[in-house]
């Protein structure tokens, strides 16, 4: 009896404990899914983040950043081939080029300015010759510590043309240089179109006028490369990243210990461990007199970028001031927390990063081979719902066309060819459009042909993809289209491969390489970039009958519209305003006549920083923190 | 016994070979898609894809790739012995990365093993001795909790409560947060960083071991020879320690060996939660990234660990149970 009484008391206590726990307090563990984002206030209602006056920024200290899971470098941090935004953000501290950016937010951050070049280049009347003169006193860092010459730039471009190295990056931008393709094809050793008459002068001869050439020489791959080191790594892209010689204000920690006597004596610089950390210290050979504070202020003495496999821990550490900045994927949960808490609002940096996400429709696969279906999809899609699935308005603004607003001409501001109230879709207008489609056999506004049912949709496996699927299906259902959705860990293997004939994908996005719409149109809508193995042009805009045969797909009887000639015409324009206007006209053509996408969000970059940060700026070019414009208050920093 | 050990070693080598072949089939042959595309640059062309395939050896038939792999495993490659090749992702030699990460995983596994044996067996013994008491019920309640609570949740709660970056009460936050500190950098920091992940990992196993020890000991204490031992006048402590425990621990020993061996392959969840940078978190990322040499290398190491520990367990088993003799 006594034992059963004890059991009963214990059970009662346990029940009370559970009741108390259920009634109050927060879960110890964060919820698996982000909370409904409609509770988050829109980004525009958040009080503007006030930057402390620049006088408060003190030099010195270490800027500590956690990077979630992996650096995810695509080419081992080799600047000739590395094309990740995170890599480009780091390169701002390590590599100076002929031209560079201010590393600040907004349009001023997208304007190329002379860096190692003494001034803007001389450009010939026909736009085919660019002559740059280098500054005095510019040097590579340790262990070389020697002057940078025009030959170092010429070598960098030759490395770009090297099919074993540069081919893995973005060589398309440099094919306009005379002789570049000959090196890429193995027919020549050096690029005939690059001259270096003396150590201070470099001349580029182009095959055609290229209005955005200054942007192209501002890319990390166009920075100077010392042949005495990099020639040891000319067989493949990647390994040079661990031996990177600085031309910027910072260098890899341990660079001075690199033994460059021969290729065999070189050991990877300790400051970069691709699986663990990237540590940067000041470059003693950097001369601030050759630079300007407008481009680089270089407050901190050292950077520590460390991998953190636990995203929640990333955010706990920044809140505890154990780190100063994060490259961890903020979810709706963090966005909500930081936008709703007045004490945290200033720590959340939201800036439009010139990227766009879209639903892609394959112009060769039914029912999307009919432009009326594509237009109807644009009219019916609930973009607000998609944004909510991703985390709410703070994540970005509803996109209405195919390039970021910062690259669009003034007449494209507010341009929306498929308007609907609150971007929630207009089923009535969509059905009217659908009636014109051959797939609406009874013209009732619903896609009723067999091709409209169980259309394959390839999506990723992230939380936002899961949230997007019901929105896409519900919207499309209003015009009679149903999807068979497959979620994959790596959807890009299929959506970028034309032979897979994927008709639709909701997992597609793009970010600029530089602030000219060419970087969008070239990869996303130029038919000449389509190969059977790979293309970013998922809709297959500009596909020719010959290409279709090579890929093994049926070429539509009506053909596939192309904008290749329009792209060529726009890129040839030297004047930025005129060229931008040209891109604007092309945007309208793509959105109104071709309609390959349903663009749905112009995304914001979301970066959480600690209270330790006294100065911070957003690098509009890379979409990351402007590391050469940050400062910390060392007294607030905690140790982990 | 020596002949037995030699036979077992040969058998273990054969098993490891079969495991690597199966791994090859699963990761190299069966998946759709071409892993070379992922590493062929921003805009892969037929030429860059072919170049990557040749560099990675993916242009050869799978059986030829496997043959080259086994050969390099035995003779070594340009980075030394064993020849595991290079990481597709970072171009770093898999061997070098494995050598750097393996000690971290071993520290975690051994630390957790010590903790769970001490805690689990102790609780199990006490529970068995005080069977039916409040202590027994609390112990089994703990075991139920340990078995039921997901490791990732335990890890997050532990960080929240005890780590200095957590959000729990300040008076509880006496341990550092995540990350691994090399012993050579600071033995104190190394040890302090080891505590939480070891305890979190140990909790699940301690629960199992407590239950198993309790059950086995209760059963053993009911045997005739235990009654005989008591009848001979031995103290209860000696009866339990010398006669009861020894017999009841043989299945625990078997389980212990296998558990530690499997952890050598990486306590994936614990390493990820605690940013431990060991083998487990590495191989998980490699799996998702189609970084095949890393996957095969870690599987191989895990298989060798299981084979070796299995042999050690059998030898210890023979020591514990005199009835067991190997020919």
Please judge whether A640 and B179 are an interchain contact, meaning their C-beta atoms are less than 8 angstroms apart. yes
Nearest CA in chain B to A233: B91
Gap from B198 CA to chain A (nearest CA, Å): 17
Distance, in Å, from the CA atom of A231 to the CA atom of A151, rounded to the nearest integer, reads 14
Provide, as residue numbers in chain A, all residues whose Cβ is less than 8 Å from the Cβ of B40. 168, 534
Provide, as residue numbers in chain B, all residues whose Cβ is less than 8 Å from the Cβ of A531. 45-46
A42-51 per-position pLDDT tens digit: 344 444 445 5
Gap from A237 CA to chain B (nearest CA, Å): 9
Contact assessment for residue A226 and residue A232, using Cβ atoms and an 8 Å cutoff:
no
What are the CB-based long-range contacts (under 8 Å, 24+) for B127-135? B127/B210, B127/B213, B127/B214, B128/B213, B128/B214, B128/B215, B128/B217, B128/B218, B128/B221, B129/B217, B129/B240, B131/B214, B131/B218, B134/A6
B148 phi and psi, to 5 degrees? -85, -35
Please judge whether B43 and A536 are an interchain contact, meaning their C-beta atoms are less than 8 angstroms apart. yes
Return residues 483-542 of A near B (CB < 8 Å).
489-490, 493-494, 496-497, 523, 529, 531-534, 536
A337 phi and psi, to 5 degrees? -60, -45
A428-457 per-position pLDDT tens digit: 999 999 999 999 999 999 999 999 999 999
Nearest CA in chain A to B34: A493
pLDDT at B325: 61
Among A247, A82, A9, A72, which residue's Cα sits nearest to residue A149?
A247
Distance, in Å, from the CA atom of B178 to the CA atom of B196, rounded to the nearest integer, reads 9
Show the tokens assigned to B161.
């409560």
Gap from B97 CA to chain A (nearest CA, Å): 8
State the ipTM, two decimals: 0.85
Please judge whether A310 and B134 are an interchain contact, meaning their C-beta atoms are less than 8 angstroms apart. no
Distance, in Å, from the CA atom of A515 to the CA atom of A621, rounded to the nearest integer, reads 7
E runs forming strands in A382-482: 396-397, 455-459
Mutate which of A275, A528, A612 to test chain B, going by most B C-beta atoms within 10 A? A275
Q: Is A164 on the interface with B (CB under 8 A)?
A: yes
Choice between A519 and A27, residue whose per-residue pLDDT is larger: A519
Contact assessment for residue A488 and residue A454, using Cβ atoms and an 8 Å cutoff:
no
**Of A301-315, A386-400, B215-229, B237-251, minimum mean pLDDT range:** B237-251
Q: Identify which of B33, B42, B178 has the shortest CB distance to residue A308.
A: B178
How much is the average pLDDT of A532-547?
A: 96
Mutate which of B42, B137, B290 to test chain A, going by most A C-beta atoms within 10 A? B42
Contact assessment for residue A470 and residue A483, using Cβ atoms and an 8 Å cutoff:
no
Mutate which of A9, A534, A637 to test chain B, going by most B C-beta atoms within 10 A? A534
Output the DSSP codes for A527-579: GGG--SS--S-TT-TT--HHHHHHHT-PPPTT-----HHHHHHHHT--SHHHH
pLDDT at B327: 52
Show the tokens assigned to B31.
């998946």
Mutate which of A71, A244, A316, A514 to test chain B, going by most B C-beta atoms within 10 A? A316
Please judge whether A275 and B45 are an interchain contact, meaning their C-beta atoms are less than 8 angstroms apart. no
Among A420, A414, A350, which residue's Cα sits nearest to residue A379?
A420
Provide, as residue numbers in chain A, all residues whose Cβ is less than 8 Å from the Cβ of B178. 308, 310, 313, 317, 640
Please judge whether B156 and A28 are an interchain contact, meaning their C-beta atoms are less than 8 angstroms apart. yes
Choice between A500 and B288, residue whose per-residue pLDDT is larger: A500
Bridge partners for A113 per DSSP: A100
Do you know the residue count of chain A? 640
A328-381 per-position pLDDT tens digit: 988 778 888 999 999 999 999 999 999 999 999 999 999 999 999 999 999 999
Mutate which of B165, B170, B189, B267 to test chain A, going by most A C-beta atoms within 10 A? B165
Distance, in Å, from the CA atom of A236 to the CA atom of B91, rounded to the nearest integer, reads 10
pLDDT at B227: 83
Among A340, A142, A123, A134, which residue's Cα sits nearest to residue A253?
A142
pLDDT at A2: 47
Mutate which of A30, A276, A313 to test chain B, going by most B C-beta atoms within 10 A? A313
Provide, as residue numbers in chain B, all residues whose Cβ is less than 8 Å from the Cβ of A536. 43
Distance, in Å, from the CA atom of B90 to the CA atom of B207, rounded to the nearest integer, reads 40
Gap from B1 CA to chain A (nearest CA, Å): 44
Q: Identify which of B91, B271, B274 has the shortest CB distance to residue A238.
A: B91
Distance, in Å, from the CA atom of B260 to the CA atom of B198, rounded to the nearest integer, reads 13
SS3 for chain B, per residue? CHHHHHHHHHHHHHHHHHHHHHHHHHHHHCCCCCHHHHCCCCCCCHHHHHHHHHHHCCCCCHHHHHHHHHHHHHHCECCECCCCCECCCCCCEHHHHHHHHHHHHHHHHHHHHHHHHHHHHHHHHHHHHCCCCHHHHHHHHHHHHHHHCCHHHHHHHHHHHHECCCCCCHHHCCECCCCCCCCCCCHHHHHHHHHHHHHHHHHHHHHHHHHHHHHHHHHHHCCHHHHHHHHCCCCHHHHHHHHHHHHHCHHHHHHHHHHHHHHHCCCHHHHHHCCCCCHHHHHHHHHHCCCHHHHHHHHHHHHHHHHHHHHHHHHHHHHHCCCCCCC
Choice between A161 and B320, residue whose per-residue pLDDT is larger: A161
pLDDT at A17: 44
pLDDT at A34: 36
Do you know the residue count of chain B? 327
Gap from B251 CA to chain A (nearest CA, Å): 32
Gap from B40 CA to chain A (nearest CA, Å): 6
Provide, as residue numbers in chain A, all residues whose Cβ is less than 8 Å from the Cβ of B180. none
Gap from A80 CA to chain B (nearest CA, Å): 11
How much is the average pLDDT of A124-143?
A: 97
Distance, in Å, from the CA atom of B113 to the CA atom of B118, rounded to the nearest integer, reads 8
Q: Which residue has the tokens 């140990």?
A: B202
pLDDT at B314: 80
Gap from B254 CA to chain A (nearest CA, Å): 33
DSSP-assigned letter for residue A590? I
What are the residue ranges spanned by the domains of chain B? 2-94, 98-325
Within 10 A of A556 (CB to CB), how many other CB atoms are there? 17
Q: Identify which of B101, B177, B277 has the shortest CB distance to residue A313.
A: B177
pLDDT at A510: 96
Please judge whether A312 and B46 are an interchain contact, meaning their C-beta atoms are less than 8 angstroms apart. no
Within 10 A of A552 (CB to CB), how many other CB atoms are there? 10
Contact assessment for residue A594 and residue A541, using Cβ atoms and an 8 Å cutoff:
yes
Annotate B247-272 with b (16+ C-beta within 10 A) or e (fewer).
Answer: bbbbebbeebbebbbebbbbbbbbbb
Q: Is A186 on the interface with B (CB under 8 A)?
A: no
A193-218 per-position pLDDT tens digit: 999 999 999 999 999 999 999 999 99
CA distances from A217 to A166, A497, B19 (A): 14, 30, 51
CA angle A329-A331-A333, nearest 5°? Answer: 140
Show the tokens assigned to A635.
């007294």
Q: Identify which of B39, B92, B157 has the shortest CB distance to residue A274.
A: B92
Provide, as residue numbers in chain A, all residues whose Cβ is less than 8 Å from the Cβ of B272. 309-310
Among A102, A136, A89, A94, which residue's Cα sits nearest to residue A224?
A94
How much is the average pLDDT of A56-81?
A: 93
Please judge whether B179 and A308 are an interchain contact, meaning their C-beta atoms are less than 8 angstroms apart. yes
Bridge partners for A205 per DSSP: A129
Nearest CA in chain B to A317: B165
Please judge whether B271 and A309 are an interchain contact, meaning their C-beta atoms are less than 8 angstroms apart. yes
CA distances from B36 to A473, B25, B53, B71, B79 (A): 33, 17, 6, 23, 22
Radius of gyration of chain A (CA): 27
Within 10 A of A455 (CB to CB), how many other CB atoms are there? 21
Give the whole-number percent of chain A exceeding pLDDT 70.
91
pLDDT at A629: 97
Return residues 353-392 of A near B (CB < 8 Å).
none
> Chain centroid to CA A624: how far?
9
Within 10 A of A150 (CB to CB), how many other CB atoms are there? 22
Tell whether the torsion through CA atoms of A477, A481, A485 and A490 is positive or negative.
Answer: negative
Please judge whether B165 and A320 are an interchain contact, meaning their C-beta atoms are less than 8 angstroms apart. yes
- The end-to-end CA distance of chain A, in Å, is 54
Q: Is A69 on the interface with B (CB under 8 A)?
A: yes
**Of A63-67, A186-190, B220-224, minimum mean pLDDT range:** B220-224
Please judge whether A75 and B288 are an interchain contact, meaning their C-beta atoms are less than 8 angstroms apart. no
CATH tag for B98-325 (out of 1.10.3720.10, 3.40.605.10, 1.20.120.1200, 1.20.120.80): 1.10.3720.10
Instruction: Determine which helix (DSSP H) or strand (DSSP E) holds A434, and give its type and residue range.
Output: helix A427-434
Output the DSSP codes for A194-223: EEEEETTEEEEEBSS--TTHHHHTTSGGGS
Distance, in Å, from the CA atom of A354 to the CA atom of A603, rounded to the nearest integer, reads 7
Mutate which of B90, B155, B163, B180 to test chain A, going by most A C-beta atoms within 10 A? B90
pLDDT in tens, chain B (327 residues): 778 778 878 888 888 888 888 888 888 887 777 778 888 888 888 888 898 898 888 888 888 988 888 898 889 988 888 889 989 888 889 999 999 999 999 999 999 999 999 999 899 888 888 888 888 888 888 888 888 888 889 999 999 999 888 878 888 888 888 999 989 989 999 999 999 999 999 988 898 899 888 888 888 888 888 888 888 888 888 887 777 777 788 788 888 888 888 887 768 889 999 999 899 889 988 888 888 899 989 988 888 888 888 888 887 777 766 666 655
Q: Identify which of A322, A532, A534 has the shortest CB distance to residue B43.
A: A534
Q: Identify which of A70, A73, A310 has the shortest CB distance to residue B275.
A: A310
Q: Identify which of A70, A317, A496 has the shortest CB distance to residue B177.
A: A317
Chains A and B form CB pairs within 8 A to the count of: 139
The number of C-alpha atoms within 13 Å of B262 and in the hemisphere containing its C-beta is 9
pLDDT at B326: 57
Nearest CA in chain B to A83: B42
């Amino acid at each position: 009896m006594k034992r059963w009484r004890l059991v009963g008391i214990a059970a009662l206590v346990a029940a009370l404990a559970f009741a108390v726990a259920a009634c109050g307090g927060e879960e110890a563990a964060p919820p698996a899914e982000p909370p409904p984002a409609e509770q988050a206030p829109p980004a525009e209602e958040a009080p503007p983040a006030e930057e402390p006056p620049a006088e408060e920024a003190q030099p010195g200290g270490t800027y500590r950043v956690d990077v979630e899971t992996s650096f995810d470098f695509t080419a081992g941090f080799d600047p000739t081939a590395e094309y990740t935004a995170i890599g480009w953000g780091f390169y701002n501290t390590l590599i100076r080029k002929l031209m560079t950016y201010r590393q600040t937010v907004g349009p001023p951050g997208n304007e190329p300015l002379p860096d190692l070049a003494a001034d803007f280049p001389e450009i010939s009347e026909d736009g085919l010759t660019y002559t740059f003169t280098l500054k005095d006193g510019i040097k590579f860092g340790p262990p070389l510590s020697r002057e940078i010459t025009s030959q170092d730039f010429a070598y960098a471009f030759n490395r770009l043309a090297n099919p074993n190295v540069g081919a893995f990056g973005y060589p398309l931008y440099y094919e306009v240089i005379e002789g570049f393709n000959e090196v890429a094809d193995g027919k020549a050793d050096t690029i005939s179109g690059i001259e270096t008459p003396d150590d201070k002068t470099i001349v580029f001869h182009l095959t055609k006028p290229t209005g955005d050439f200054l942007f192209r020489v501002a890319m990390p791959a166009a920075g100077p490369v010392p042949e005495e080191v990099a020639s040891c790594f000319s067989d493949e892209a990647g390994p040079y990243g661990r031996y990177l010689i600085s031309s910027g204000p910072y260098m890899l920690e341990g660079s001075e210990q690199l033994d460059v006597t021969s290729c065999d004596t070189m050991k990877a610089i300790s400051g970069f461990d691709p699986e663990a950390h990237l540590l940067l210290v000041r470059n003693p050979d950097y001369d601030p007199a050759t630079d300007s504070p407008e481009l680089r202020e270089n407050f901190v003495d050292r950077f520590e970028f460390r991998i953190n496999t636990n995203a929640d821990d990333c955010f706990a550490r920044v809140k505890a001031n154990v780190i100063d900045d994060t490259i961890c994927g903020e979810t709706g949960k963090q966005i909500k927390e930081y936008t709703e808490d007045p004490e945290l609002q200033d720590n959340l940096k939201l800036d439009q990063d010139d990227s766009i996400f879209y639903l892609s429709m394959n112009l060769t696969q039914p029912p999307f081979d009919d432009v009326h279906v594509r237009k109807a999809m644009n009219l019916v899609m609930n973009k607000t719902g998609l944004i909510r699935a991703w985390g709410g308005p703070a994540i970005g603004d509803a996109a209405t066309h195919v390039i970021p607003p910062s690259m669009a001409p003034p007449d494209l501001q507010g341009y929306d060819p498929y308007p609907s109230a609150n971007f929630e879709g207009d089923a009535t207008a969509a059905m009217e459009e659908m009636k014109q489609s051959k797939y609406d056999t009874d013209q009732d506004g619903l896609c009723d042909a067999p091709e409209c049912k169980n259309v394959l949709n390839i999506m990723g496996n992230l939380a936002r993809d899961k949230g997007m699927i019901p929105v896409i299906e519900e919207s499309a259902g209003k015009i009679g289209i149903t999807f068979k959705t497959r979620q994959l860990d790596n959807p890009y293997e299929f959506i970028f491969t034309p032979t897979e004939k994927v008709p639709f994908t909701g997992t597609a996005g793009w970010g600029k390489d530089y602030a000219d719409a060419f970087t969008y149109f070239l990869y996303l809508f130029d038919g000449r970039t389509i190969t059977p193995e790979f293309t970013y042009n998922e809709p297959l805009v500009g596909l020719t009958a010959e290409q279709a045969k090579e890929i093994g797909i049926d070429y539509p009887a009506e053909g596939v519209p192309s904008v290749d000639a329009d792209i060529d015409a726009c890129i040839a324009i030297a004047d930025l305003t005129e060229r931008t206007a040209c891109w604007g006209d092309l945007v309208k053509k793509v959105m109104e006549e071709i309609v390959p996408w349903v663009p749905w969000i112009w995304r914001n970059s979301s970066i959480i920083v600690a209270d330790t940060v006294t100065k911070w700026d957003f690098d509009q070019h890379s979409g990351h923190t402007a590391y050469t414009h940050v400062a910390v208050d060392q007294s607030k920093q905690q140790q982990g | 016994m020596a002949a037995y050990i030699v036979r077992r070693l040969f058998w273990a080598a054969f098993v490891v070979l079969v495991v690597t072949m199966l791994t090859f089939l699963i990761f190299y042959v069966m998946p759709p898609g071409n892993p070379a595309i992922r590493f062929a640059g921003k805009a892969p062309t037929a030429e860059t894809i072919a170049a990557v395939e040749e560099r990675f050896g993916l242009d050869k038939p799978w059986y030829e790739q496997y043959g080259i792999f086994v050969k390099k495993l035995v003779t070594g490659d340009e980075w030394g012995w064993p020849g595991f090749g290079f990481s597709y992702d970072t171009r770093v030699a898999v061997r070098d990365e494995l050598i750097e990460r393996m000690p971290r995983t071993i520290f975690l596994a051994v630390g957790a093993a010590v903790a769970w044996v001490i805690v689990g067996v102790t609780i199990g013994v006490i529970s068995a001795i005080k069977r039916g008491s409040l202590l027994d019920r609390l112990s089994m309640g703990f075991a139920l909790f340990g078995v039921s609570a997901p490791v990732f949740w335990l890890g997050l709660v532990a960080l929240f409560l005890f780590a200095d970056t957590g959000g729990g009460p300040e008076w509880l936050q006496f341990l550092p947060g995540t990350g691994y500190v090399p012993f050579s950098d600071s033995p104190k920091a190394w040890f302090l960083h080891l505590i939480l992940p070891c305890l979190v990992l140990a909790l699940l196993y301690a629960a199992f071991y407590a239950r198993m020890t309790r059950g086995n000991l209760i059963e053993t204490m009911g045997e005739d020879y235990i009654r005989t031992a008591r009848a001979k006048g031995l103290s209860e402590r000696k009866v339990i320690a010398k006669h009861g425990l020894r017999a009841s621990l043989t299945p625990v020993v078997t389980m212990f060996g296998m558990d530690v061996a499997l952890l050598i392959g990486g306590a994936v969840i614990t390493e990820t939660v605690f940013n431990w940078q060991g083998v487990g978190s590495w191989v998980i990322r490699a799996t998702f990234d189609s970084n095949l040499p890393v996957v095969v290398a870690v599987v191989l190491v895990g298989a060798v660990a299981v084979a070796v520990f299995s042999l050690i367990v059998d030898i210890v088993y023979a020591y514990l149970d005199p009835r067991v003799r190997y020919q």
